[in-house]
Structure 1
Amino acid sequence: MSATETAPLKAEYVLPSGAWRVVALLCVVGCLNYLDRTMITTMRTSIVQAMPMTDAQFGLLTSVFLWVYGILSPFAGFLADHFNRSRVIIVSLFIWSAVTWLTAYATTFEQLLATRVLMGISEACYIPAALALIVDYHQGPSRSLASGIHIAGIMVGQSMGFVGGWIAELHDWNTSFSVFGVIGVVYSLVLLVFLKDAPKSRETEAKPAGPPVHFFEAVKSLFAEKSFLLLIVFWAFLGIIGWMVAGWIPTYYQEHFKLSQGMAGLYATGYLYPASIVGVILGGFLTDRWARRNPDAQIYIPVIGLLIAAPCIFVASYTDILPLTITMFMVYGLTRMFCDTNIMPILCLSADPRYRATGYGILNLFACIIGGLSVYAGGLLRDMHVDLGRIFQSAAILMILCIGLLYLIKKEADKKAGTL
């Protein structure tokens, strides 16, 4: 671990030129990244009418994207470590936007499935490169806030998925893919002018030039760190929690409070997502303010967030008072996101700066696989007539375990710092 990562952040630290411009540019890319991938789920009726398919086939369109995206994430992260990060981002945006545009011309299920595979390949390259580029620029008391603002942009895109269904109703399903595909291609050309890699950092200036980055050497270096192994488990647990809540909260509202499908969906997303967006920004702001006095703020803020989020899930799963349930889930969404805004700063505690994107890609792989399995496991428990309240309570228990993992990660990071 470098002195930059462990020493208290100094007030005289000056951000490189364009550091916040990079965050703003990548917020738009992150928004397009999630909008392009999720809007297909909001236009099911229009797509099935145009090319008949079973529900299983329609579900496969999302599943195959997730599988490809997760499996390729470590390799995609390696590309960002091995080559120019900004160019990896631009090429990724251009290709997935071109694929989005191409999707509008699919006429069969097989063609549509092929475009989802191509989108999974191209989009996998974005987030590891983007987060690594942001922390390259933001090495002082702005790292967590910068990461949080970028994640907020991603979540805006995720919450805007309804736009696809809205446009499909007004026109046809092809229009959404054509419009956003062209927007992405044009924006990638804009990034060619304005998005650049960070100037040489204090971390790299202090070290002699090393050998070229190789994938298996990067993996070996990362897995040699006990703190990184603990971080994998931590991020996988958070993936289980996030997918479990997001996947089943509409059903919980519908069944527990006897709501209509539309109202249940509104309460599940209309309150939770805005709270989560505020949470990633607030978590970053609080972390960076505290980090001026305490370099362990990126550990302590997530711990505080989980200590608040866990009892909120318990209360939400027990009460029969709808406004209280909504409030508790909102507070959960707000404070649970303190972890997401700090995941890359925490990764920086253990990962060699050369392998940060690869490290995040590996974390993404486990989160996708474990998260997807947790949604399926939730379905199995439902088939066994296990109450959704009990499932949410198990998520609260996992959050307590995550607090313990953060303590162990900090302990290992401190141990490593003491040896340098």
Structure 2
Amino acid sequence: MSAPAAPATSVRAVSRRSGTAIAIFALLLLSYVLNAMDRQLFPLLVSDVREEHNFGLADAGLLSTVFTLGMGLAGIPTAFLMARLRRKTVVMIGIFVFSITTLLTALSAGFADMFIYRALSGLGEAMQLAALLAIATTYFTRRRAVAIGSINLSFAVGAAVSPVFGGALLAAFDWRMPLIVFGLLGIVAIALVAIFVRPWLTEAAPSTAEVSAEAAADGEPAGAGPELPARFLNRNTVLITIATVAGGLLIYGYLGMYPTYLQEELGFDVAQKSGVMSIFGLGAILSIVGGMLGDRFNARIVLPASFAIGIVLAVLLFTGPATFAFQAAFSFIWGAVISGTTYVNLAGYQVKAVRPELAEKASGLFIAALYIPAAFSGYLVGAAAGSMGWQRTGMVLIGGISAVGALAALFIRPAAMTR
């Protein structure tokens, strides 16, 4: 005897609830687009800030990437807040912090206060990201990968939009106006989250039944899979951490100083520089594809290959023709490979290298390893460019960092990781 069909009213109610959840999550993703726009904005302004304040190239590079220090150090305060406050509240606090510090950056008197505001902006950005990841993985239990991929996609959208919008403001006003406008947009986002986002989505926790259903859907009995190391710090986590440090230096060395290279070395105007960085963001939109590659192939294939491509790209970007078409094309590839593939899979493989009960600890290690060294990537690139020129910086420094990441990844043991 077949089971009775579910009442039509119940089906419609579930459908409405799902549609509402997607709409609310889309609003949260929109707020994260602003986060990404904020991250991409300051590198566009570096040359103008340098000219007004007479900062050295290395100091300007440090200001461009020091927000990642705030992101890397945000683990403890974020964990404290998320243990005591609603995730929705943490999202709003994060938006408030990076929006206010963006506004304050426009009012900076010199290097010291600008350094503080930039570092604190990263603290707010990390709070928002951590809360969004928790929301995505606890509400959308059957579609975790898609939900997390949509967060990465939102970052890529912000990375593509920010140079165009920010560049237009920079061309029409001075360097302070983009910071003021982006900061005020964050305040608007806080109001929208406060009004429309519902706690039943943000504070959801997966039930035991849901977790069991997911395990059954995977078709694997309990205990199936590789024998994972008992220790948190094992061969794979150490190697992936080394590769993550290299990845952070690459990603944020490029983001922090490449726009300055385009303007000061290649002579690009604001519109050309903004256009190239926007196209980089379009490349990063392929992060979902990069994640799929990581699920399909093991770490000893994906990571060495992506880092090796990074070596080639470093040489081409800093020694190739000074034309918009060339720089835009290879910046797109950089976005797809380094941001869209290397970054996504470093995060995923670090979690896959430990037992499930250590997953949160592995994510914390990834964030610290990526963002804390990245804070000094702009200073490193700027100092190198000032001493040996941009071309050698690309080949020796950026290419060398890529080589270190590739070499570390070659010794990963895929057999001791979950698929």
Aligned-partner residue type, residue 412 of structure 1: A
1:370 aligns with one of 373, 391, 396: 373
Identity level (%): 21
User: 1:33 Cα deviation (Å)?
Assistant: 1.4
Aligned-partner residue type, residue 197 of structure 1: T
User: 1:44 Cα deviation (Å)?
Assistant: 5.1
Q: Is the 8 A contact 2:108 2:114 kept in 1?
A: yes
Distance 2:25 2:252 in 1: 26
> SS at the partner of 2:202?
coil
Distance 1:251 1:111 in 2: 22
Aligned to 1:143: 144
Aligned to 1:282: 289
> SS at the partner of 1:35?
helix
Whether 1:394 and 2:397 are equivalent positions in the alignment is no
Aligned-partner residue type, residue 86 of structure 1: K
Aligned-partner residue type, residue 159 of structure 2: Q
User: 1:280 Cα deviation (Å)?
Assistant: 0.6
Aligned to 1:187: 189
Distance 1:64 1:375 in 2: 8
Q: Is the 8 A contact 2:163 2:278 kept in 1?
A: no
Q: Is the 8 A contact 2:61 2:381 kept in 1?
A: no
User: Structure 1's 399 and 197: CA in aligned 2 closer, same or farther, altered over 3 A?
Assistant: same
Aligned to 2:247: 238
User: Structure 1's 129 and 303: CA in aligned 2 closer, same or farther, altered over 3 A?
Assistant: farther
Aligned to 2:169: 167
Structure 1: segments with no counterpart, 5+ residues: 1-13, 208-221, 288-296
Aligned-partner residue type, residue 401 of structure 1: L
Structure 2: segments with no counterpart, 5+ residues: 1-13, 213-229
Distance 1:276 1:412 in 2: 29
Whether 1:340 and 2:343 are equivalent positions in the alignment is yes
Distance 2:258 2:47 in 1: 23
2:89 aligns with one of 87, 104, 107: 87
Aligned-partner residue type, residue 406 of structure 2: I
When the two structures are aligned, how many residues end up with a matched partner?
370
User: 1:359 Cα deviation (Å)?
Assistant: 4.6
Aligned to 1:199: 204
User: 1:90 Cα deviation (Å)?
Assistant: 1.9
Q: What CA deviation, in whole Å up to 9, does each residue of 1:207-227 have, x standing for no partner?
A: 9xxxxxxxxxxxxxx983535
Distance 2:150 2:171 in 1: 32
Distance 2:71 2:314 in 1: 32
User: Structure 1's 274 and 120: CA in aligned 2 closer, same or farther, altered over 3 A?
Assistant: closer
Aligned to 2:5: none
> SS at the partner of 1:145?
helix
CA RMSD of aligned residues (A): 4.5
Aligned to 1:411: 415
User: 1:235 Cα deviation (Å)?
Assistant: 1.9
User: 1:238 Cα deviation (Å)?
Assistant: 1.7
User: 1:187 Cα deviation (Å)?
Assistant: 1.8
Aligned-partner residue type, residue 343 of structure 2: D
User: 1:275 Cα deviation (Å)?
Assistant: 1.6
Whether 1:122 and 2:124 are equivalent positions in the alignment is yes
Distance 1:325 1:175 in 2: 27
Q: What CA deviation, in whole Å up to 9, does each residue of 1:4-25 have, x standing for no partner?
A: xxxxxxxxxx999466445523
Q: Is the 8 A contact 1:42 1:161 kept in 2?
A: yes
Distance 1:171 1:35 in 2: 18
Q: What CA deviation, in whole Å up to 9, does each residue of 1:302-349 have, x standing for no partner?
A: 665446534544555667875788656644532342243345544543
Distance 1:328 1:109 in 2: 33
Q: What CA deviation, in whole Å up to 9, does each residue of 1:244-275 have, x standing for no partner?
A: 555666688899xx953449847853543322
Q: Is the 8 A contact 1:34 1:157 kept in 2?
A: yes
1:300 aligns with one of 297, 302, 308: 297
Distance 2:241 2:268 in 1: 36
Q: Is the 8 A contact 2:61 2:379 kept in 1?
A: no
User: Structure 1's 316 and 33: CA in aligned 2 closer, same or farther, altered over 3 A?
Assistant: closer
Distance 2:295 2:362 in 1: 17
In the superposition, the TM-score normalised over structure 2's length comes to: 0.68
User: Structure 1's 311 and 117: CA in aligned 2 closer, same or farther, altered over 3 A?
Assistant: closer
2:28 aligns with one of 26, 29, 41: 26
User: Structure 1's 79 and 363: CA in aligned 2 closer, same or farther, altered over 3 A?
Assistant: farther
Aligned-partner residue type, residue 411 of structure 1: A
Q: Is the 8 A contact 2:242 2:405 kept in 1?
A: no
